[in-house]
Structure 1
Amino acid sequence: MFSDKASFSICPPFVTLFHWDLPQELEDQYRGFLSPLIINDYRDYVELCFKEFGDLVKYWLTANEPFSFADGGYDGGFVGNFAPYRCSPWANCPQGNSATEPYIVAHHILLCHAEAVKIYREKFQATQKGEIGIALVTHWFVPYSKSIADVRAARRVTDFIFGWFADPVVYGDYPKVMRSILGNRLPNFTDDQRKILKGSFDFLGVNYYTGNYASNSPSNAINVSSNTDYMASLTTSKNGVPIGQPTGVGAFFVYPEGLHKLLVYVKETYNNPTIYITENGIGDSNNVTREESITDPQRIDFYNRHLEAVREAIGEGVKVKGFLAWSFLDCFEWNSGYTMRFGLCHVDFQHNLTRTVKNSGIWFKNGLQNK
């Protein structure tokens, strides 16, 4: 694939350097991202990628959804359980610490990111003329009520999920609210680390799928976890009414207003950075017929409404430069396996992986041609 320069000129790829696929050898040697030793190995890895593929790749992502990796792999709460399946014993994991390990892992991912950007800028960017950033995920959190406590809770969750990574790469340190709540459980950056972190991106990638209501909730002093540290209770409905239209993914509801509000929030909070929407999509359960899957009006409606939300944000001065649909085709959806379908193309997993463009794929193509 990397030798096909002609196709790359037509559709420039966004290449993710780390999407949770930690080499088992590094996990066995020093427990992967729990150790600062990962930073040097990651530096060597990305430098090799820049050297070998940089003439073809114009958009690099140092990591995809570091929150999901740190939370899912080392606490197993907000996004579900991912490898290496660590958390506190009270959460039924054989090993781990939900109160500290997510923050250690995230800290090392951020330092890996900063080193990758530093290397790219110093050795490759001038000649390869590409851009480098990081893809961050969050839901949009709506205060459950108009109370000051709930308004603050919604902002606090955003800081703990999105700001956890956005603040360091923009400003060089974690959000103040995280420092205040976590104390010595949150690692510190050295002065030199802050310097290379601050401004370590050409663009921010934003992954968005859904919204939640957030209400203030006291912390649990007994079972301490990164998923309770933000002291908020999250729900997808209010007074029995869901926040949006249900989807095939139980936790995801169609809420395009959240994407618009998130983009404006990023503009206002992080000095109006260049943004690429690096994931946005809707999942179907895999219990429908092939014909029903290919005829997918809900996906067309989803993208129509979310692209309109992006258009509105651009009209308000948000610098969105691109939009990537999740996903091009039905694929293996992490802990959901093949039970969820997010693709614009249907894949027949039972018969030779035959691909068929869905109606949404045709709609998307026509929209791009008529832009």
Structure 2
Amino acid sequence: MLASSRGRAAPHHSPPKVGYAPTGPVFSPCGDESEAAIAEAYRRTMEVEGCYSISWWCDPVLLGRVPEPMAKALGTDVFTPQELELLHQPLDYLGFNVYNACAAQQPGSEYTANTWQGSPRTAMEWPITPDCIYWAIRFLNQRYGRPILITENGMANTDFVMLDGKVHDPQRIDYVHRHLLAARRALQEGYPLIGYTYWSIMDNYEWAEGYSKRFGLIYVDYRTMERIPKDSAAWYAHVIATNGSEL
């Protein structure tokens, strides 16, 4: 190891890892996990039309090609060959923000297969579908062959300071627990997952909802700026300290 001019060992620098983190709808298989249901969920995930499609943002960068949803909307010549070559880069990993899964509409019903009247939802009215992380990791790795980093996952909850001065949020603990179990399933099946990041460390300004929705592990009193760790903060700290071994 080289020494610095002051006699101290020079710091070790790890090679940087470069990726990026899009998002988009992830469909889960409906009814069962048959090969046909999985294939249909994969197709729906990658063939969503419009600019929210995963393939719209990932195919040019990771595969060097124009995906079918983009070609339908903008034409096959949306990029010149030179532009596509510039976009196509050898990223080390693929980040992904995921909060819930989509599913096909049930025949004769206004509800999808993973939602129904009174089904579990977050304070954002998003369905609680823990398998979304598993299918996101599996489908993204299947298509793009990159390790996956979950860069956002979490829930808005109806949090407030209770009579004991604490903020109890068992729903958030359950939500994260279920999603981490789904992520562990992906790992156990051999899909490369390099990390998970909860959104967010503390309550903050949500870009579409202002301060009305609370995603944090730490409660923020917006009048005084007081911070109060929620029950989920202590629970998640233990998960980190044990590296998920006690999930």
User: TM-score normalized by structure 2?
Assistant: 0.77
Q: Identify the structure with the greater strand proportion.
A: 1
> 1:205, 1:258 → 2: CA distance?
15
Structure with higher RCO (Cα < 8 A, 6+ apart): 2
Aligned partner of residue 309 in structure 1, secondary structure: helix
Q: Match for residue 58 of structure 2?
A: 166
The change in CA–CA distance for 1:155 and 1:135 in structure 2 (over 3 A counts) is: closer
Amino acid corresponding to residue 231 of structure 2 in structure 1: N
Please point out which of 259, 267, 284 is paired with 2:133: 259
Aligned partner of residue 208 in structure 2, secondary structure: helix
Q: Give 5+ residue unaligned stretches, structure 1.
A: 1-126, 217-234
Amino acid corresponding to residue 370 of structure 1 in structure 2: T
Q: Match for residue 54 of structure 1?
A: none
Aligned residues: 218
Amino acid corresponding to residue 161 of structure 2 in structure 1: R
Q: Match for residue 364 of structure 1?
A: 236
Q: How does 1:1-371 map to 2 (within 5 A)?
A: 129-142=15-28, 153=44, 155-157=46-48, 161-179=53-71, 181-184=72-75, 188-215=78-105, 237-238=112-113, 241=116, 245-250=120-125, 252-271=126-145, 273-285=146-158, 289-291=160-162, 294-350=167-223, 352-371=224-243
Q: Do the aligned residues in 1 keep the contact of 2:105 with 2:112 (CA within 8 Å)?
A: no
Percent identical: 29
Q: Do the aligned residues in 1 keep the contact of 2:203 with 2:217 (CA within 8 Å)?
A: yes
> 1:242, 1:369 → 2: CA distance?
38
Q: Do the aligned residues in 1 keep the contact of 2:157 with 2:171 (CA within 8 Å)?
A: no
> 1:302, 1:341 → 2: CA distance?
14
Structure 1 range deviating more: 315-324 or 195-204:
195-204
* CA deviation after TM superposition for structure 1 residue 339, in Å: 0.5
Amino acid corresponding to residue 302 of structure 1 in structure 2: Y
> 2:28, 2:14 → 1: CA distance?
42
> 1:294, 1:283 → 2: CA distance?
14
Amino acid corresponding to residue 229 of structure 2 in structure 1: V
Amino acid corresponding to residue 242 of structure 2 in structure 1: N
* CA deviation after TM superposition for structure 1 residue 144, in Å: 6.7
Q: Do the aligned residues in 1 keep the contact of 2:56 with 2:69 (CA within 8 Å)?
A: no
* CA deviation after TM superposition for structure 1 residue 141, in Å: 2.0
The change in CA–CA distance for 1:212 and 1:243 in structure 2 (over 3 A counts) is: farther
The change in CA–CA distance for 1:199 and 1:248 in structure 2 (over 3 A counts) is: same
Q: Deviations over 1:232-255 (max 9, x none)?
A: xxx7644972695211002x1111
Q: Give 5+ residue unaligned stretches, structure 2.
A: 1-12
The change in CA–CA distance for 1:154 and 1:203 in structure 2 (over 3 A counts) is: closer
Q: Do the aligned residues in 2 keep the contact of 1:142 with 1:212 (CA within 8 Å)?
A: yes
Amino acid corresponding to residue 144 of structure 2 in structure 1: Y
The change in CA–CA distance for 1:143 and 1:196 in structure 2 (over 3 A counts) is: same
Amino acid corresponding to residue 157 of structure 1 in structure 2: V
The change in CA–CA distance for 1:206 and 1:128 in structure 2 (over 3 A counts) is: same
Q: Identify the structure with the greater helix proportion.
A: 1
The change in CA–CA distance for 1:238 and 1:320 in structure 2 (over 3 A counts) is: closer
The change in CA–CA distance for 1:337 and 1:183 in structure 2 (over 3 A counts) is: closer
> 1:290, 1:176 → 2: CA distance?
49
Aligned partner of residue 337 in structure 1, secondary structure: coil
Q: Do the aligned residues in 1 keep the contact of 2:103 with 2:114 (CA within 8 Å)?
A: no
Amino acid corresponding to residue 48 of structure 2 in structure 1: V
* CA deviation after TM superposition for structure 1 residue 158, in Å: 7.8
User: TM-score normalized by structure 1?
Assistant: 0.53
CA RMSD after TM alignment:
3.0
Amino acid corresponding to residue 173 of structure 1 in structure 2: R
> 2:63, 2:54 → 1: CA distance?
13
